[in-house]
């Protein structure tokens, strides 16, 4: 990390890895870490199968293991996990203290090769990087461990590129993208949340195509699928949000999979009508906003396209909070330039809560709508803007099956823009 | 710097155990004979660390910045959890717009772990001061920063000199709360209180304020419970200074001015209270958490004895008990004889176990994080209510043991965090509540009604158990719940 960060909204590489493994139903993360990692690094992730962080197997390495090494402790922890925890896939994740003291984790994990269950070993010591680093590492390790190819299914796609906890409407979004693809006859492996997540990962080698929703994440996974199974990756600049985006998304996928274009056109037309029925019923209340948007690029780009290209708002500034490496920033800037409005949004890459406040204050008096995370709620009030929560972290609302993407999701988004009291 | 209070860890207390199991009578007898030894769990689930409690203790102080010297993950519980918890407090106090606390992570990466992170710590502190001009900068150690040998004390001293030269009196207060330091996470609170004394209060010696009592309380109490304790203390003519959660800098500086010290329970701030008695001659009482009639009576009487307010206390106890007697009796007709299992923090657990006694319920097992010889009397009191046979499982949660035991015991009701218990279909409720008081005589009624509600409508747990299973193998339930406990050899 280049600098200090005030009130981080993404955490360490262990967090990113827990986010991947913990969101796969019946996958069991095993921590080789000091106490506290189970609680801190699982903040805002979904460990519901385990019943929360208390259920997470951990070696709880204390001073003794830090000083004398923790491999014996790890051995008994893995053994107990396999005997007690009811999983189909296990992943040993390393925390800082056990990453620094030089335990040979891979060798210990290898001792369990005869186990009927696949076990991955992932060096996710917190200082190796941030949530996104951990996401890339754990997703690749998991795909390597589980994915097999028997026969290509020409109607099957893998979807990834969205770290689960970074998407505040994760379940709804995965449901919506699955629904949309199903309408054109395509089955989607989304891996996370679904109770058949592990089956989906196993079958993912049979997919005809990968859909990567991030402009920059999981390139290592794209490469692995290509080299191992010959699966190409179609990369999108974020989720499809709204009817235009959805039409473009479905057409692009359909072309690549050589689907019946008549069916696709029919589905697109029906989905568009669905959205405009709702927008039409609201048009008397339409209020055109000048907006500031804070969030991760996979979500923020899609939201911006819907807000500008479909719903007719004016973009003032977009602040991308995922730690987008320099080499990808220009392509994201270009995507913002393409928004269909002569006034172009200013683009920033920043995740520090104080720095974001400094940026936003330049727009004081001009912004009428502020979209961001719970961290930005008071800031929006300070600027006299309406506020809607669209990005991580969401601390003051329960979101279950709500979505902000696709055609059904953009309607919920519009509700959120109006229900701002 | 010469520290008034050195860093200590609770693991050194006589008879400390965080891994043990047995009937209450058996464990107590061993503890009384000074031969209770820690066992070893060959399989464990996640445990909290001391750093989380140090953060929780200090995060609510205004005009401070907390610098967490660590990789990004160690700010999870502060950035998401602690600040959000404070927002709940503010909401209950009608102060939604009060400013947020400031937490900055030094965001240590591979480079710093190899080359050292002190430079980053200096830069982060400079940012903290530039942004907020605080009175105090707390510097929290982590596993990583501690193992690589970053000297947070030296950085604190350098910074104090550097800013003094610029004409700024800022307190730089290091907290050595690396996660692997202690098996007892309450140590994190001790470390935070020691830091407040060593670096903030220092040698301040204000005159005593008549009727002022310091009430040391954890962050896990709701605003409603803080208010209920305040009300009870007011009723016997005392003015409560509640610390450290939700306290201000001025409240902290008032600590030496109090006439008396009391804690919310027997295992919180007990060491600091002893220190205050030695340094400032402030008398104190060690008592239990005021949950349930018996425990509330005991708590209030202990304080009244300290302050010579026995008459006021008895009048208050009578009036408040009379006010709830009829309703308690009504609920008790339903709950009498029900069998209960309980999981809670040690102090809260003791008190909750007396509360269920108020309602005529029988304790089957109690999961509690710690044992030490200081708790012998508490267990004796519980044995008077529930007999000596109830199982005491010394465990920081460990739900794999809990579900195993609960499946075998099939209690009528479970009290505590019930994520995994709901899936077993057992009626359950949590004694933590953020909106209404669980403490004092009003709390007795509130919790009694919660027991009644859990029993009268268990449809949710019952239905859920048909669709959601816990993450444990079927074979596990056939084994003994404590199969992974290696007991120490007896002498």
Peptide bond into B244 cis (omega under 30): yes
**Portion 74-113 of B in contact with A at CB < 8 A:** 74-77, 79-81, 83-84, 87, 97, 100, 102-110, 112-113
The distance of B139 to chain A (nearest Cα, Å) reads: 13
| pLDDT digits 0-9 by tens, B150-176 | 999 999 999 999 999 999 999 999 999
User: On the CB side of A52, how many CA atoms lie within 13 Å of its CA?
Assistant: 13
CB nearest to A127's CB, from B49, B109, B399: B109
Q: What would the pLDDT profile of A101-119 be if each residue is shown by its tens digit? A: 999 999 999 999 999 999 9
Question: What is the structure's pLDDT at B1?
Answer: 67
Q: In this complex, do A4 and B80 lie within 8 Å of one another by their Cβ atoms? A: no
Question: Is A60 close to B79, i.e. CB distance below 8 A?
Answer: no
A44/B109 Cβ within 8 A: no
* Banded pLDDT at A211 (limits 50, 70, 90): very high
Counting one residue from chain A and one from chain B, the pairs whose CB atoms sit within 8 A come to 238
On the 0-12 / 13-18 / 19+ scale of CB atoms within 10 A, B464 is middle
CA of B223 to nearest chain A CA: how many angstroms apart?
18
Interface subset of A 127-156, CB within 8 angstroms of B: 127-131
Q: Is it the case that residue A283 has pLDDT exceeding 80?
A: no
Is residue B471 over pLDDT 90?
Answer: yes
Mean pLDDT of B50-69: 96
Backbone angles phi, psi at B197, to 5 degrees: -70, -50
pLDDT at residue B481 is higher than 90: yes
Measured between beta carbons, the chain A residues lying within 8 angstroms of B142 are 96
Mean pLDDT taken over chain A: 96
Whether B239 contacts B286, CB under 8 Å: no
Q: Which of B401, B395, B409 is nearest to B349 (CA)?
A: B395
Token match 């419970």: residue? Answer: B225
**Chain A nearest-CA residue for B53:** A36
- Beta-bridge partner residues of B263: B216
Those residues with Cβ within 8 angstroms of residue B83's Cβ, 6 or more apart along the chain or in another chain: A7, B59, B100, B101, B103
User: Is 90 exceeded by the pLDDT of residue B65?
Assistant: yes
pLDDT of residue B491: 55
Structure tokens at A5: 């960060």
Q: Is A31 on the interface with B (CB under 8 A)?
A: yes
CB contact under 8 A, A51 and B51: no
Cα gap A105→A97, rounded to integer Å: 13
- pLDDT, tens only, A365-392: 999 999 999 999 999 999 999 999 999 9
- How many CB atoms within 10 Å of residue A315? 21
Q: Quickly list DSSP for B66-103.
A: EEE-S-GGGGHIIIIIIHHHHHHHHHHTT-TTSPPPEE
Give one DSSP letter per residue of A323-343, joined into a string.
Answer: ---HHHHHHHHHHHHTSSSSS
Chain A: nearest CA to B20, how far in angstroms? 16
Give contacts of A 321-340 with B, CB under 8 A: none
* Segment (H or E) for B262: strand B260-263
Of residues B248 and A285, which shows the higher confidence score?
A: B248
**Cα separation of B341 and B347, whole Å?**
16
Identify the closest residue of chain B to A27 by CA–CA distance.
B471
**Distance, CA of A130 to CA of A126 (rounded, Å):** 7
**Start-end of H helices in B93-203:** 110-115, 118-132, 143-147, 152-165, 187-195
pLDDT at residue A180 tops 80: yes
pLDDT tier for residue A286 given thresholds of 50, 70 and 90: confident
Q: Are B47 and A79 an interchain contact pair (Cβ–Cβ within 8 Å)? A: no
Q: Are B482 and B43 in contact (CB under 8 A)?
A: no
At residue B446, φ and ψ (nearest 5 deg) are -60, -45
Q: Rounded distance, CA B428 to CA B220, Å? A: 20
Residue corresponding to tokens 């600590």: B255
A1: contact with B, CB 8 A cutoff? yes
Q: Which two tokens stand for residue A337?
A: 């330039």
State the Cα–Cα distance between residues B61 and B54, nearest whole angstrom. Answer: 12
Chain A residues inside the 8 Å CB shell of B127: 4, 6
As given in the structure block, the two tokens for residue A55 are 């259920």
Q: What is the dihedral of CA A168, A172, A178, A179, to 10 degrees?
A: -150
Q: Calculate mean pLDDT across residues B267-291.
A: 95
Q: A28–B104: do the CB atoms touch at under 8 Å?
A: no
H helix and E strand count, chain A:
17, 13
Query: Among candidates A289, A293, A279, A320, which has minimal Cα distance to A390?
Result: A293
Which of B42, B50, B71 faces A96 most closely, judged by CB atoms? Answer: B71
Rg value, chain B, Cα: 23
Q: Which of A25, A32, A127 to mutate to probe the B interface, most B CBs <10 Å? A: A127
- Residue A235 has which token pair? 């990369």
Q: Cβ of A6 and B127 within 8 Å?
A: yes
CB contact under 8 A, A86 and B472: yes
What values do phi and psi take at A373, rounded to 5?
-100, 180
Residue B82 CA: distances (Å) to CA of A77, A374, B1, B195: 30, 14, 30, 19
| Cβ contact A216:A298 at 8 Å | no
Q: How far apart are CA A347 and CA A344, in angstroms?
A: 9
Q: What is the mean pLDDT of chain B?
A: 95
CA distance B179 to A36: 6
Nearest-angstrom CA–CA distance, A291 and A390: 13
State residue A93's pLDDT score: 98
How many C-beta atoms surround the C-beta of residue B154 within 10 A? 11
> What does the alpha-carbon distance between residue A200 and residue A212 come to, in Å, rounded to a whole number?
16
Query: What percentage of chain A exceeds 90 in pLDDT?
Result: 95
pLDDT at B98 over 80: yes
CA torsion B393-B398-B401-B402 (nearest 10°) is: 80
Chain B environment of A95 (Cβ under 8 Å): 143
Kindly give, in sequence order, each residue whose CB lies less than 8 Å from that of residue A152, ignoring residues fewer than 6 positions away.
A206, A207, A208
Distance between CA atoms of residues A390 and A218, nearest Å? 23
Please report the pLDDT score of residue A421 as a whole number: 59
| Overall average pLDDT of the B246-255 stretch | 94
For residue B78, name the pLDDT band (cuts at 50, 70, 90): very high
Give the pLDDT of residue A46.
Answer: 86
| Complex-level ipTM beyond the 0.85 threshold | yes
Any CB–CB contact under 8 A between A69 and chain B? no
Give the pLDDT score at B435.
Answer: 80
CB < 8 Å to A12, chain B: 71-74
A380 to chain B: closest CA residue: B97
What is the reported pLDDT for B2?
80
Nearest chain A residue to B396 by CA: give it. A54
| Residue-wise pLDDT tens digits, B426-446 | 999 998 877 889 999 999 999
Task: Flag whether pLDDT at A282 surpasses 90.
Answer: no
CA distance B82 to B101: 9
Stated pTM of the model: 0.97
Backbone angles phi, psi at A273, to 5 degrees: -60, -40
- CA distance, residue A10 to nearest chain B CA (Å): 8
| Tokens representing residue A336 in the block | 């913002």
Angle at B27 between CA B22 and CA B220, to 5 degrees: 85
Instruction: Scan for tokens 């057409």, then name that residue.
Output: A251
Q: Mind giving me the DSSP string for B210-246?
A: TTEEEEEE-TTS-HHHHHHHHHHHHHTT-EEEEEETT
Residue A1 has pLDDT above 90, yes or no: no
CA distance B451 to B334: 10
Q: Which residue of B has its CA nearest to A82?
A: B473
């Amino acid at each position: 990390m280049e600098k200090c960060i005030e009130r981080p909204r993404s955490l360490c590489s262990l967090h990113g890895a827990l986010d991947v493994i913990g969101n796969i139903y019946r996958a069991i993360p095993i921590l080789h870490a000091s106490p506290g990692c189970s609680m801190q690094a699982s903040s805002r992730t979904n460990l519901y199968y385990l019943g929360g962080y208390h259920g997470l197997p951990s070696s709880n390495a204390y001073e003794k293991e830090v000083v004398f090494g923790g491999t014996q402790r790890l051995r008994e922890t893995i053994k107990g996990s396999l005997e007690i925890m009811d999983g189909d896939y296990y992943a040993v994740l390393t925390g800082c203290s056990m990453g620094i003291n030089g335990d040979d984790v891979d060798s210990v994990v290898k001792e369990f090769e005869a186990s009927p269950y696949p076990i991955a070993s992932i060096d996710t010591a917190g200082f190796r990087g941030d949530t996104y680093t951990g996401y890339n590492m754990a997703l690749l390790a998991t795909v390597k461990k589980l994915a097999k190819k028997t026969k290509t299914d020409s109607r099957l796609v893998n979807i990834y590129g969205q770290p689960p906890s970074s998407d505040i409407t994760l379940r709804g979004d995965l449901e919506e993208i699955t629904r949309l693809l199903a309408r054109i006859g395509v089955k989607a492996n989304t891996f996370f949340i679904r109770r058949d997540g592990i089956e989906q990962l196993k079958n993912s080698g049979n997919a005809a195509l990968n859909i990567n929703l991030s402009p920059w994440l999981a390139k290592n996974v794209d490469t692995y699928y290509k080299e191992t199974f010959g699966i190409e990756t179609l990369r999108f600049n974020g989720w499809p949000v709204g009817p235009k985006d959805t039409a473009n998304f479905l057409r692009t996928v359909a072309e690549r999979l050589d689907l019946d274009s008549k069916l696709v056109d029919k589905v697109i037309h029906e989905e568009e009508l669905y959205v405009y029925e709702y927008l039409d019923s609201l048009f008397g209340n339409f209020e055109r906003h000048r907006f500031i948007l804070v969030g991760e690029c996979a979500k923020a780009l899609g939201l911006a396209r819907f807000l500008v290209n479909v719903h007719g708002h004016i973009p003032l500034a977009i602040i991308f909070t995922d730690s987008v490496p320099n080499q990808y920033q220009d392509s994201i800037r270009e995507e913002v330039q393409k928004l269909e409005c002569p006034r172009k949004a200013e683009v920033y890459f920043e995740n520090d809560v104080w720095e974001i406040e400094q940026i936003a204050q330049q727009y004081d008096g001009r912004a009428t709508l502020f979209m961001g995370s719970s961290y930005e709620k008071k800031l929006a009030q300070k600027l006299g803007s309406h506020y809607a929560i669209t990005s991580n972290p969401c601390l003051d609302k329960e979101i279950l099956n709500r979505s902000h993407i696709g055609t059904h999701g953009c309607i919920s988004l519009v509700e959120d823009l109006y229900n701002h009291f | 710097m010469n520290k008034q209070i050195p860093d200590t860890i609770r693991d050194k207390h006589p008879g400390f155990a965080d891994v043990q199991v047995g009937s209450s009578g058996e464990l107590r007898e061993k503890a009384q004979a000074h031969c209770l030894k820690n066992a070893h769990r060959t399989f464990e689930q996640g445990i909290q660390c001391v750093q989380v409690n140090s953060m929780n203790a200090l995060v609510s102080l205004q005009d401070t910045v907390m610098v967490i010297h660590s990789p990004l993950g160690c700010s999870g519980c502060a950035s998401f959890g602690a600040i959000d918890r404070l927002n709940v407090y503010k909401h209950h106090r009608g102060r939604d717009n009060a400013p947020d606390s400031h937490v900055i992570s030094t965001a240590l990466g591979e480079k710093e772990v190899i080359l050292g992170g002190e430079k980053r710590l200096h830069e982060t502190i400079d940012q903290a001061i530039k942004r907020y001009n605080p009175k105090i900068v707390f510097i929290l150690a982590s596993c990583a920063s501690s193992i690589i040998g970053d000297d947070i004390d030296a950085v604190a001293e350098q910074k104090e000199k550097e800013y003094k030269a610029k004409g700024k009196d800022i307190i730089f207060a290091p907290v050595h709360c690396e996660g692997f330091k202690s098996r007892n996470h309450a140590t994190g609170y001790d470390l935070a209180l020691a830091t407040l004394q060593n670096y903030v209060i220092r040698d301040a010696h204000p005159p005593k304020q008549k009727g002022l009592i310091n009430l040391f309380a954890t962050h896990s109490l709701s605003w409603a419970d803080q208010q209920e304790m305040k009300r009870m203390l007011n009723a016997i003519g005392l003015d409560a200074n509640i610390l450290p959660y939700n306290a201000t800098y001025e409240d902290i500086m008032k600590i030496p001015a109090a006439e008396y010290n009391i804690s919310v329970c027997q295992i919180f701030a007990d060491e600091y209270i002893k220190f205050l008695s030695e340094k400032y001659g402030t008398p104190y009482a060690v008592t239990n958490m005021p949950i349930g009639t018996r425990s509330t009576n005991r708590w209030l009487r202990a304080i009244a004895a300290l302050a010579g307010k026995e008459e006021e206390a008895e009048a208050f106890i009578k009036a408040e008990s009379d006010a709830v007697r009829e309703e308690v009796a009504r609920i008790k007709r339903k709950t009498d004889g029900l069998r209960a299992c309980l999981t809670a923090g040690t102090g809260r657990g003791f008190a909750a176990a007396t509360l269920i006694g108020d309602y005529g319920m029988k304790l089957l097992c109690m999961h509690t994080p710690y044992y030490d010889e200081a708790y012998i009397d508490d267990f004796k009191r519980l044995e008077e209510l529930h007999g000596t046979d109830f199982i005491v499982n010394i465990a920081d949660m460990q739900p794999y043991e809990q579900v195993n035991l609960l499946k075998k015991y099939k209690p009528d009701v479970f009290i505590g965090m019930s994520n995994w218990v709901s899936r077993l279909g057992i009626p359950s409720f949590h004694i933590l509540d953020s909106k209404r008081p669980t403490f004092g005589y009003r709390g007795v009624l509130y919790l009694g009604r919660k027991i009644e509600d859990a029993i009268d409508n268990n449809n949710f747990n019952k239905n859920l158990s048909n669709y959601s299973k816990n993450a444990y193998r079927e074979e596990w339930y056939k084994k003994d719940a404590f199969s992974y406990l290696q007991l120490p050899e007896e002498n």
